[in-house]
Amino acid sequence: MAASLRAALKYQARLPVASRTGFGSVRGMASKPQTLKERFAELIPKEIENVKAIKAEHGKKAFGQVTVDQVYGGMRGLPALLWDGSVLDAEEGIRFRGHTIPDIQKALPKAPGGQEPLPEGLFWLLLTGEIPTEEQVRGLSAEWAARASLPSFVEELIDRCPSTLHPMSQFSLAVTALNHDSAFAKAYSEGISKKDYWGPTFEDSMDLIAKLPAIAGRIYRNVYGDGKLPAIDLNKDYSANLSTLLGFGDNEAFVELMRLYITIHSDHEGGNVSAHTGKLVGSALSDPFLAFSASLNGLAGPLHGLANQEVLVWLMKMKKQLGESPSDEAVREYIWGTLNSGQVIPGYGHAVLRKTDPRYTAQREFAQKHLPTDPFFKLVGQIYDIAPKVLLEAGKAKNPWPNVDAHSGVLLTYYGLSQMQFYTVLFGVSRAFGVAAQLCWDRALGAPLERPKSYSSAAIKKMFEGKP
């Protein structure tokens, strides 16, 4: 095992972070921080033994029965996936490796002078289960910046897309094209041992995350700007570079918003469409670029990643009809009108959560700090006070509380990023963190091809015929 890990570490190895110039560099070999890949390699043997022990002791035990309603109901609530990065609790919300959002807001390293956690630290946590040091996070920032450039043919591919092609379609197309240089695809074609799959998968995952800001920025500037992009700054963190590529890098509050946004949108356990799709496609040993492009196609659906756009459209219609500062009664009647027309209140309710989404709360606290007098923010707060009571009275939702989508669009609009079709691209940049971390662990643990059993309606009917 040790020999194979050493071999995989050398495979497609990059220069050590400490050897690079920029704010990730350190002087003297004695002070060189441990890289993420080195730490991941140390953790793999222990986790392999941990999984073996769990399967040996509990492998034949059942989670519970599967009902016909679950089969017809999108497998809602069906325990069928392993996902280590995060677990969603109905009462507490998401926990990243056991840490709540308030926990990580306090514990994860921040940029100099910043108050929001750096997403680099969250990725380290998702992959290792450990809170990284400030030095480790800065090293990861520097490594991603060094990997960020796109192959020229991918740049040309994006540039040739018509501006009428949806940003998410362009995003998925570009990520798929990165497969051209996949370390995993190359290693697999050369006969790499299964126990070493994790090495090139890790390299692809790091490249994937590192290149997403350049893809997102190029799409945004082509569709909504003049197509000209600044260079990646090797001395800046991931969110700062993304903000600069989008044209908002001079606004430190927007940069802080991106740090928070990417962190809280990064992972939401494994059963949502984008996460499950990435894991499913990855289980076929498709490389991380192919797996994540599939995730993006799922994320683009109206029932998944477009929700924050729908919230903003609904808010704009309300504002247009009711005016700048509507009364509580007017807002209440508008909500009732939406429900009575057969529509849902966008941004309210969740498949698992039964309380206010802590991701909503984190964004609300950000708004209270940075834009307390903004009319749209005030309207969102007003709806927060009114909508849950209406939904409970109407009996329309098991969870009448707001989710993450109820707030994010308002924050982006405030800072001038008002192109709603682009919002899901930012969601996609974030979601890569969770999908990539799990893909690395799936390959390290030798996860098998996903192949659940399916039944036809006729087979289900016959199965229970004559049974009570």
Which of 92, 96, 91 has its CA nearest to residue 108? Answer: 96
- H helix or E strand, kind and range, residue 377: helix 375-394
Residue 159: which region, alpha, beta or left (left: phi > 0; alpha: psi -120 to 50)? alpha
- H helix or E strand, kind and range, residue 307: helix 307-322
Which of 310, 213, 305 has its CA nearest to residue 265? Answer: 305
Apex 81 CA angle, 78 and 84, nearest 5 = 130
Q: What is the token pair recorded at 175?
A: 């990520």
Q: What is the token pair recorded at 291?
A: 């797996």
Which of 351, 7, 358, 21 has its CA nearest to residue 190? Answer: 7
Which of 147, 190, 196, 163 has its CA nearest to residue 44? Answer: 196
| Beta pairing partners, 110 | 117
Percent helix, strand and coil across the chain, each to the nearest 5 = 60, 5, 35
Question: Cα dist. 243→6, 148, 250, 284 in Å?
Answer: 37, 14, 8, 35
Annotated catalytic, 99?
Answer: no
Using DSSP's 3-state secondary structure scheme, residue 1 falls into coil
- Cβ atoms of 220 and 425 closer than 8 Å: yes
Sequential DSSP letters for 129-194: SSPPPHHHHHHHHHHHHHT-PPPHHHHHHHHTS-TTS-HHHHHHHHHHHGGGG-HHHHHHHTT--G
Q: What is the token pair recorded at 133?
A: 């040091």
- Cβ atoms of 129 and 97 closer than 8 Å: yes
Catalytic position from the list 99, 265, 350, 407: 350
| Beta pairing partners, 94 | 88
Which residues participate in catalysis according to the annotation?
A: 350
